[in-house]
Amino acid sequence: MTEEGRGMAIAAELERRLQAAFAPVALDIRDDSERHRGHPGHREGGGTHFVVRIVSEAFRGLSRIERERRVMATVADLLEKPVHALQVIARTPEEVR
C-alpha cells in the first residue's frame, strides 16, 4: 500500500467505527498530519493525526471529557500514538443548531 493509501484506509476505518458506535447526524474526518510535521509520530504521507468533528444524540448529557473518552475508546487501537493523534470535537445536534 502507498503511504497515501494507508492514511486513507485509516480514515475510512475511523469513519466506519464512528458511524457504527454513535450513529452521527454529521461526521467529518480530516487528516491533519501535515500540521504536525516534525512532531513525534508524524510520518510522510499522512494517516498519523486526525481531526474528528462528530454530531450525535449519543453525547447528550455527557461532559466534554466523557465524550472524548468514548470516541477515543472506539478508535484508539487504530492510532499509533493516540495521545496527540486525534483531536475530537463532539457535539449534540442541539449544540450545533
Cα(52)–Cα(87) distance, rounded to whole angstroms? 6
User: Considering the complex, what minimum distance in angstroms separates the CB of residue 41 from another protein?
Assistant: 13
Q: Is residue 87 part of the contact set for another protein (CB under 8 A)? A: yes
CB 55 within 8 A of CB 91: yes
* CB of 45 or CB of 74, closer to another protein: 74
- Cα angle, residue 47 at apex, residues 42 and 48 outer, rounded to 5°: 35
| Minimal distance, residue 88 CB to another protein, in Å | 9
* Residues 57-86 interacting with another protein (rule: CB under 8 A): 63-65, 68-69, 82-84
The residue type of 56 is S
Grid cell in block for residue 31: 487528516
Which stretches of the chain bind another protein, using CB under 8 A?
A: 63-65, 68-69, 82-84, 87
